[in-house]
Chain A
């Protein structure tokens, strides 16, 4: 059966492929695309870890619920259960933040590339040497 660790491995491999593409390309648009792929790989790892932590939290809550039978412990179990519910989606919340940053980065990066293409006529990053001095 497929375990969540395989999803983490998939994220690592996707990060490597994106990094390789970003390093070997000279086209600025293609580099931006590969950076988006790398951010997506990080998202994948975040979500996989969130799944792991959610499963561990559910198992822990179930264990605590089965062992603690008294009513005094019910409140503690409930509060820890709420904490677990919040911690279970922390990875997904981080993935949402990564998506927001990726969108901002793509917008600004594409605007800069458009302006460079408009003014210099090239999109190859090794030919843009405005700051060479």
Chain B
């Protein structure tokens, strides 16, 4: 019994640790797997794990929204975009397309290799971000709070009251922004190759040399 109680107390720690490892590893794999489709699925895994952390933080409505919007809409949009384009051209490492000197000059880092300067830069940004957050925490003076210390109240009603109360104007602006983005995306993506595919001023690049399909789309 004593062991069981200790285990139950240990469960949030275990869950958070597992979710954190899943988030970080899958986020790392998004930029390191070779196939872009696998990267999209790793992104889905990271989004789902973040939804789990939202649950642990007491944000139930936001966890559901995360699953609905990110996993249900954005990831599916990515997968459709990958699907309707040529998958070989969309892969980071077009083995059959580039040859010789072109391949050596093509990509600074093929998938799977660590690019040290960017890693250092990202680390510096992370340190700066952490310093900013620590400064904000120190200034606010809020005490440390344990995750899942108490079952929180459902947050759907307060979020709704906040959205239609003090945040009414930003809410409407967000909806208009979404509408404009939707119309813009349809206009941009639905253009049937109106650009100069054979007539316009195209800079002589080697990237269109070995490409014969895709124009019919």
- Chain A positions within 8 Å of B, measured between CB atoms, are 1-10, 12-27, 29-30, 32-34, 36-37, 40, 43-45, 47-56, 59, 85-86, 88-90, 92-93, 95-97, 99-108, 110-115, 117-124, 126-127, 129, 132
CB contacts (< 8 Å) of A95 on chain B: these are 59, 62
Query: With A30-B39, A86-B161 in contact, is A114–B20 under 8 Å at CB?
Result: no
CB contacts (< 8 Å) of A27 on chain B: these are 36, 90-92
CB contacts (< 8 Å) of B137 on chain A: these are 5, 8, 52
Query: With A25-B31, A44-B50 in contact, is A90–B147 under 8 Å at CB?
Result: no
Shortest C-beta distance, B197 to chain A (Å), equals: 7
CB contacts (< 8 Å) of A15 on chain B: these are 125-126, 129
CB contacts (< 8 Å) of A100 on chain B: these are 174-175, 177-178
Q: Which residue of A lies closest to B85 (CB)?
A: A117
Q: Which residue of B lies closest to A42 (CB)?
A: B129
How many B residues, CB 8 Å from partner? 105
Shortest C-beta distance, B51 to chain A (Å), equals: 10
* Set B12, B82, B188, B203: member contacting A108, Cβ < 8 A: B188
Contact A16 B125 (CB under 8 A): yes
Q: Which residue of A lies closest to B133 (CB)?
A: A8
Shortest C-beta distance, A85 to chain B (Å), equals: 6
A93 CA to B155 CA in the complex, in Å? 11
Across the A-B interface, how many residue pairs have beta carbons closer than 8 Å? 283
Contact A47 B59 (CB under 8 A): yes
A16 CA to B23 CA in the complex, in Å? 12
Contact A12 B174 (CB under 8 A): no
CB contacts (< 8 Å) of A53 on chain B: these are 140, 142
Contact B174 A45 (CB under 8 A): no
Contact B211 A121 (CB under 8 A): yes
CB contacts (< 8 Å) of B90 on chain A: these are 27, 29, 117, 123
CB contacts (< 8 Å) of B207 on chain A: these are 120-122, 127
Contact A24 B109 (CB under 8 A): yes
Contact A4 B57 (CB under 8 A): yes
Contact A107 B182 (CB under 8 A): yes
Contact B50 A86 (CB under 8 A): no
Given contact pairs A4-B146, A6-B16, A20-B122, a sample of 4 additional A-B residue pairs in the complex whose CB atoms are under 8 Å apart: A19-B121, A56-B140, A102-B70, A123-B89
CB contacts (< 8 Å) of B17 on chain A: these are 2
* Set B20, B23, B144, B214: member contacting A121, Cβ < 8 A: B214
A89 CA to B40 CA in the complex, in Å? 30
Contact B142 A33 (CB under 8 A): no
Contact A21 B144 (CB under 8 A): no
Contact A36 B126 (CB under 8 A): no
In order of increasing CB-CB distance, the 6 nearest A-B pairs are: A21-B31, A104-B181, A16-B126, A20-B122, A111-B189, A23-B118
Q: Which residue of A lies closest to B122 (CB)?
A: A20
- Residue B135 is within 8 A (CB to CB) of chain A in the complex: no
* Set B31, B50, B69, B125: member contacting A30, Cβ < 8 A: B31
A32 CA to B13 CA in the complex, in Å? 32
Contact A110 B185 (CB under 8 A): yes
Q: Which residue of A lies closest to B81 (CB)?
A: A110
